[in-house]
Amino acid sequence: MKLIIVLAVVLVYSALMLTNAAPQQTGQPGCTCPCACPTPTTTPAQQTPPAQPSPAVMTTATPPLSPTATAMPTASPTATSTPVPGPTDDPYANATKDCAGKVQASGIPLCSTKQPTTSTLSKDSILDRLYELAAPGKRIGPVLFTHEAHTKPAYSIDGVRPVGCVECHHTDQPKSALTGRLKTSQRADVLTADLFTKTPAASPVLSCRACHAQKGKLPAVGQMIPLVTYPAADPDDPDSKPETVTLTNFEAYHRNCTACHEKAIDARKPPNAAKFIKGPPPKQTSCGACHNPITQT
């Protein structure tokens, strides 16, 4: 009888041991069938971080970058944009290249190999008599400029010689001849009427507005309208300061023409001075003497 009881206890104990051993194989307590065990849900804090590969594994799995891949990219010379002119570069030096046959909005050729007899300036003016932007019917009128009269008779300031070409076409002279605020040279020799008319290979002469464009517009030559700094009008006056001016066609024409006219009037005041051929030139205050009519219809 005792033997039967001992065998029964041993069998029960063995059955219990087998029952506890089955869940340990699946890793989930109380689950005896791996195919029916639910997927455990764990929080991020309970998740086991992935094993980090050893340095040897990383070296094998990720090859080092080649020198061409790690180097900073360098733009090729052909891919670079046009360089901005530096202090020694002159954007107007080659201005007469490919200018033949081009006509500006004013109707005046961009450049020419023939001297005009007359030129009509300010045909497309955008200003009124107060130098303000104006509607077409209120704009200041055109100017009939007698080019021939200014170049053949004694139209110089002192009245004893013709006006030199470079007194207006200031870029048509060699660099060695440039003075004051003049910086641009487009010709190896000083431009003269003989050079221009008697030299078949002479370069064309640019129109003034090729560089001195209207306000708010880009010139046909260069990247910008020229800037010029004029000295103080009265060095002894502390309130008189240098003036930097954007030389639009308005500024260039009025400053050049007006200064010449006023100097000519002053030069003829002495009793022994040369007389005017056709009377004194118009002053700056007399707009109608040049702009005729004042307003367009």
User: What gap in Å lies between CA 37 and CA 237, rounded to an integer?
Assistant: 102
Domain ranges of the chain: 111-287
Average pLDDT, the chain: 74
Confidence band (pLDDT; 50, 70, 90) for 71? very low
In this structure, are residues 102 and 110 in contact, taking their beta carbons and an 8 Å threshold? yes
Q: Is the pLDDT of residue 11 over 80?
A: no
pTM for the model: 0.64
Q: Name the 3-class secondary structure at 229.
A: strand
Higher pLDDT, 213 or 90: 213
Percent of the chain exceeding pLDDT 90 equals: 26
- Enumerate the H helices of the chain as residue ranges: 2-26, 55-61, 67-70, 147-151, 193-198, 249-267
Q: Is the pLDDT of residue 8 over 70?
A: no
pLDDT at residue number 268? 93
Q: Is the pLDDT of residue 206 over 50?
A: yes
Higher pLDDT, 31 or 256: 256
Q: Is the pLDDT of residue 265 over 90?
A: yes
In this structure, are residues 256 and 138 in contact, taking their beta carbons and an 8 Å threshold? no
Q: Is the pLDDT of residue 274 over 70?
A: yes
Instruction: Look at the alpha carbons of 133, 136, 139, 140 in this order and tell me if their dihedral is positive or negative.
Output: positive
Q: Is the pLDDT of residue 242 over 70?
A: yes
Which one of 43-47, 50-54, 275-279 scores highest in mean pLDDT?
A: 275-279
Q: 28-42, 103-117, 137-151, 220-234: which has the minimum mean pLDDT?
A: 28-42
Higher pLDDT, 27 or 141: 141
pLDDT at residue number 201? 64
pLDDT at residue number 9? 63
Q: What's the pLDDT tens digit per position in 185-199?
A: 888 899 998 888 887
In this structure, are residues 275 and 153 in contact, taking their beta carbons and an 8 Å threshold? no
Higher pLDDT, 282 or 25: 282
DSSP string, 120-187: EE-TT--B-TTSSB--GGGSB--EEE-HHHHHSSS-STTSSSPPPGGGTSTTSS-GGG--TT------
Lookup result for tokens 């170049």: 151
- What residues contact 210, with CB distance under 8 A and at least 6 apart? 95, 99, 104, 110, 111, 219, 220, 221
pLDDT at residue number 128? 85
User: What gap in Å lies between CA 138 and CA 132, rounded to an integer?
Assistant: 10
Q: Is the pLDDT of residue 215 over 50?
A: yes
